[in-house]
Amino acid sequence: MTVDEYIIDHLEAEPEYLRTIFRNTNIKLLNPRMQSGHYQGRLLKMFTRMLCPHHILEIGTFSAYSTLCLAEGLTPDGHIDTIEIDDELEDFINDNIRLSPFADRITLHIGDALQIAPTLGKQFDLVFVDGNKRHYRQYLDMVLPLLSERGVVLADNTLWSGKVVDKPASGDYQTKEIIAFNRYIAQNSAIEQIILPVRDGLTIIRKK
């Protein structure tokens, strides 16, 4: 047994609807590894249970697996706004959300998060960034003014399969942007941040 297998073996079980979503995503969508999965999903739930957020913003919905993990820690009157740019996923996402007990507390927006998020008129207690890697710095600059006083940003994929430690190929713009993003937040004196080596890298960010 590997360490990863040991961890999974000792995790809280996923709700049945998450197992269904995970299975359907692997069957129906390209790049199913983009969804959070059991381990990271339970971590997202733990974060939200500790933070007790009233308003959550998610950038990059994909299958809604992470959305529903985040929803498990909402306050009783809390709400999630999740933004997905790929309109071909809309029906799949809505079907998955309806499998859960949180459908009435989640609003799916289809379009560009950089345009949509500032129009929502909310202060967010938690922002989960998992959208287009080429826009991570823009996402962060956009959401920092939208954070509540105790707000936290979680940025996913910040180790990018370990590619961040090597010189990227000339055309590998996603890796280049993740490297630039990590450097950007490390040098930003207005925030505190730490990278967790969880799955593909998860960075926690808060304003000082």
DSSP tag of 31: S
User: What is the tens place of the pLDDT at every residue in 75-110?
Assistant: 999 999 999 999 999 999 999 999 999 999 999 999
Integer-rounded Cα radius of gyration of the chain: 16
- Residue 168 is predicted with a pLDDT of 86
Q: Are 69 and 42 in contact (CB under 8 A)?
A: yes
- All structural domains of the chain, each given as residue ranges with its CATH number in brackets, are 3-207 (3.40.50.150)
How much of the chain exceeds pLDDT 70, in percent?
100
Collapse the DSSP code of 57 into the 3-class scheme (helix H, G, I; strand E, B; otherwise coil) and give the result: strand
At residue 130, what is the residue type?
Answer: D
Contact 156, 129 (CB under 8 A): yes
Q: How many CB atoms lie within 10 A of CB 78?
A: 19
Q: What is the pTM of this model?
A: 0.95
- Owner of token pair 């306050």: 75
Determine which of 4-13, 100-109, 189-198 has the lowest per-residue pLDDT on average. 4-13
Residue 75 CB coordination number (10 Å)? 14
Q: How many other CB atoms sit within 10 Å of the CB of residue 86? A: 12
Residue 114 makes CB contacts below 8 A (sequence gap 6+) with 135, 138, 139, 142
Q: Encoding tokens for residue 20?
A: 């269904």
